Amino acid sequence: ALLNLTADKVSYQPTDKSTILAGRRAHFGGNLSLTYSDPVMLVRGWKHHLFDEWGRPYLDAYNNVPHVGHAHPRIQAVAADQLRRMNSNTRYLHPAQTSFADKVLSKMPDHLEVCFFVNSGTEANELALRLARAHTGAKGMVTPDHGYHGNTTGVIDVSAYKFNANGGVGPSDWVELVEVADDYRGSYRRDDPNRAQKFADLVDPAIERLQASGHGLAGFIAETFPSVGGQIIPPKGYLPAVYDKIRAAGGICIADEVQTGLGRLGEYYFGFEHQGASPDIVVLGKPIGNGHPLGVLVTTRAIAESFAQGPEFFSTFGGSTLSCRVGTEVLKIVEDEGLQENARLRGTDLITGLKDLKTRHSAIGDVRGMGLFLGVELINADGTEATDICAYVKNRMRDHRILIGSEGPKDNILKIRPPLTIDAEGVAMIIESLDHILTELD
Ligand code: PMP
């Protein structure tokens, strides 16, 4: 099949690179191409492969959206079928929506019974904040200081993170930031057996401050594994301990699973399962639509009914028939093709290979993650964050036809996040190329 996928040759118009960059940055902030010294345009995809405008293949080890791979024939089929039948269903109920809700809820703990459909992870997080506030009548939110929940004003307020072009927004005085539970660089390290509880205890003064301020406590919002903040896996037990404190103070616990949900973690379908935590609201995005605009919020009946007193919640495109059909198919394909298990197996191979590289290359400070949610922290000789080395490695990986990203406050953590279809050959390519490039640096 790959042979048929050679991209059409497109005529290349030589253009001043700075003009392209300025334009693309304005329209496509966060585009990986911009982090390269020489941008790459990708025009086709197949499974975990991408092809540039010259038909050259790249391994996609960065795109955290298409769990089931690019251009999956079953996604193409349901999308085409739905477009033939009905495109918009803003005002009426459609079986695509009810089937999708049933499928999503089948993956959730029993107490989560209601789905809201929107167009993105950002919107779903915005809605989560409003529901928490409507339900509690309070405004204050507690959130880890390395969070990322999207790009609109409401969520930037609780993201407080440099990757947002935030225009001066946030954090407001009703947002309390607490130190993220990073046991590699944070206040409590991996050799401390009580670090989960110690990180969780940082929430106590934050709750007290909100209660004293008059804003009150609406809840706690966090990615179950902070991603943009540095691919951080909190020590087991951290979230349940925080959730207990938040609930005891009357707040709602929101789990952002936009990056971590739907099998990427291999051993766990969701990050909250790894933590043994029971959220009141779960937010899904990115892979749920495999590239189609779709965000989902799942919550309890009681919280959902907080909106029943006022105007109806309405989103014109949220839960479009097209997105719902695609979303249902994504969840089925992950099951039918054993992609969660593939994430576990390939993730284990990757972690083993990366840990082996760490023993041989001093530029690797930490290898962390699970399944296909992986981070490689690059450091300088003095142990400080190696932003420049990271930028260099990303560019050189591209020369090896592998696309990877980077994250973290100092942008020094390589982020390996391929579609869940990646195979043993792809894993070997990543390890061998990284080995080669780090050897150049030694
Ligand atoms: N939450 C998390 C954890 C994310 O990483 C992102 C996007 N990177 C979002 C929410 C926002 O999703 P979207 O960009 O689809 O609105």
In 10 A of CB 310, how many CB atoms? Answer: 8
Q: Which of 21-30, 134-143, 181-190, 318-327 is predicted with the least confidence, judged by mean pLDDT?
A: 21-30
To test the pocket of ligand 1, the residue of 258, 315, 415 to mutate (highest count of ligand atoms within 8 Å of its CB) is 258
Instruction: Report CA(386)–ligand 1 centroid distance (Å).
Output: 25
ipTM, 2 decimals? 0.99
Give 98-154 pLDDT, tens digit per residue: 999 999 999 999 999 999 999 999 999 999 999 999 999 999 999 999 899 998 888
| Distance (Å, whole) CA 141 – CA 212 | 13
Q: How many residues does the chain have?
A: 442
Sign of the Cα torsion 24, 414, 125, 250 reads: negative
Question: For the chain, how many structural domains are there in total?
Answer: 2
Give 183-213 pLDDT, tens digit per residue: 999 999 999 999 999 999 999 999 999 999 9
Q: Of 287, 306, 336, at which residue does a domain stop? A: 336
| pTM for the structure as a whole | 0.92
Domain of 255, CATH number, reads 3.40.640.10
Q: Which residue has the least CA distance to atom 10 on ligand 1?
A: 149
Q: Does residue 364 have a pLDDT over 50? A: yes
Q: Which residue has the least CA distance to atom 12 on ligand 1?
A: 121
What confidence score (pLDDT) does residue 360 get? 97
Q: Is 258 in the pocket of ligand 1 (CB under 6 A)?
A: yes
The percentage of the chain sitting over the pLDDT mark of 90, rounded to a whole number, equals 71
- In 189-308, the DSSP E strands lie at 217-223, 252-256, 281-284, 295-299
Q: Of 314, 336, 358, at which residue does a domain stop? A: 336
Asked whether residue 272 falls in the same domain as residue 384, the answer is no
Give yes or no for a cis peptide into 171 (omega within 30° of 0). Answer: yes
Q: Which residue has the least CA distance to atom 2 on ligand 1?
A: 149
- The domain of 384 spans 2-71+338-441
Domain of 396, CATH number, reads 3.90.1150.10
Asked whether residue 49 falls in the same domain as residue 83, the answer is no
Asked whether residue 143 falls in the same domain as residue 242, the answer is yes
Sign of the Cα torsion 212, 218, 220, 223 reads: negative
Asked whether residue 93 falls in the same domain as residue 83, the answer is yes
Instruction: Report CA(26)–ligand 1 centroid distance (Å).
Output: 18
